């Protein structure tokens, strides 16, 4: 999960940036790895015919059984928006983010973004993965592949001497070079004792702009890339963000820390990869 710029406004409020100690980074890693394992569990069950509500229930039970608390369930952003009602944000096809689980059955050819957050020992983990369901169009599979590449290209820029804009620029350049567009209204963020901390991390921008990256900074880097135009809108449920042109969108997210001048990925997709390798109904990207 990530903030909506119009709701959170970190930079506008000049909120402080909390640089983490090595022990705090390890605590965040523990929370992030529980998210990773939860995404792996979801990956093992993904197939046409399953409902997003079923996957959500399974994820909540797993998180609680492993000493965590779902970070998104009950999360509030504004007085006029109901708290988020589920453990997972589950966004299908043109749903960019914050989709609410339901009795909707997944279909062959769908794509599903699963965004998961966990609180464990007072710290948050938060990351996401977009899954293809069955036989997905090749051009949509390219969207997923490029979005995941954008994530890792952004992570490579998270080094001492660089700025937030260097991460943003790397993501934007790779997406647009491949014919896709960047969602402007939604951003990555710091993460730690709060789910959303400063700084904001847009997925577009200029090199050399933004805050200077320093050791101890922990970030949720999360490209949100559209197949068609960049424009989005919010549904009447107060949460779900969809593309304005109803074309697909993809979203991948990792938690990283800057340690000894370089990015260290605290989360992992290894559990997802292992589950997809065994799940004959799913497709690895």
Residue 229: CB atoms within 10 Å: 11
Domain limits, the chain:
5-278
Residue 281 has pLDDT above 90, yes or no: no
User: 189: buried, middle or exposed (CB in 10 Å: 19+, 13-18, 0-12)?
Assistant: buried
Q: Check residue 279 and give its pLDDT.
A: 81
Segment 8-30 shows an average pLDDT of 81
pLDDT band for position 182 (50/70/90)? very high
Query: Which residues lie closer than 8 Å to 198 by C-beta, 6 or more apart?
Result: 10, 11, 15, 16, 17, 18, 189, 190
Segment 20-47 shows an average pLDDT of 98
User: Into which CATH architecture does domain 5-278 fall?
Assistant: Alpha-Beta Complex (3.90)
pTM summary value: 0.94
Q: Check residue 254 and give its pLDDT.
A: 98
């Amino acid at each position: 999960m990530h903030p909506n710029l119009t709701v959170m406004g970190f930079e506008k409020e000049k909120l402080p940036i909390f640089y983490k100690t090595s022990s705090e980074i390890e605590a965040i890693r523990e929370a992030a790895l529980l998210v990773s394992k939860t995404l792996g569990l979801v990956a093992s069950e993904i197939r046409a015919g399953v409902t997003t509500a079923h996957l959500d229930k399974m994820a909540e039970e797993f998180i609680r059984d492993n000493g965590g608390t779902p970070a998104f369930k009950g999360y509030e952003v504004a007085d006029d928006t109901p708290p988020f009602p589920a453990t997972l944000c589950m966004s299908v096809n043109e749903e960019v983010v914050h989709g609410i689980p339901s009795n909707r059955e997944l279909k062959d050819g769908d794509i599903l973004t699963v965004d998961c957050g966990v609180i464990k020992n007072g710290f948050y983990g938060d990351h996401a993965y977009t899954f293809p369901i069955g036989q997905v169009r090749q051009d949509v599979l390219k969207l997923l592949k490029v979005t995941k590449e954008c994530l890792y290209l952004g992570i490579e820029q998270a080094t001492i001497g660089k700025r937030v804009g260097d991460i943003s620029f790397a993501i934007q350049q790779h997406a647009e070079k491949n014919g896709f567009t960047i969602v402007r209204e939604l951003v990555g963020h710091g993460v730690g004792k709060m789910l959303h901390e400063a700084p904001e991390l847009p997925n577009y921008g200029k090199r050399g702009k933004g805050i200077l990256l320093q050791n101890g900074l922990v970030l949720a880097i999360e490209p949100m890339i559209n197949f068609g135009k960049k424009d989005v809108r919010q549904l009447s449920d107060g949460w779900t963000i969809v593309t304005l042109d109803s074309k697909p969108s993809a979203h991948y997210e990792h938690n990283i820390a800057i340690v000894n001048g370089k990015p260290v990925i605290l989360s992992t997709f290894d559990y997802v990869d292992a589950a997809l390798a065994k799940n004959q109904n799913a497709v690895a990207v």
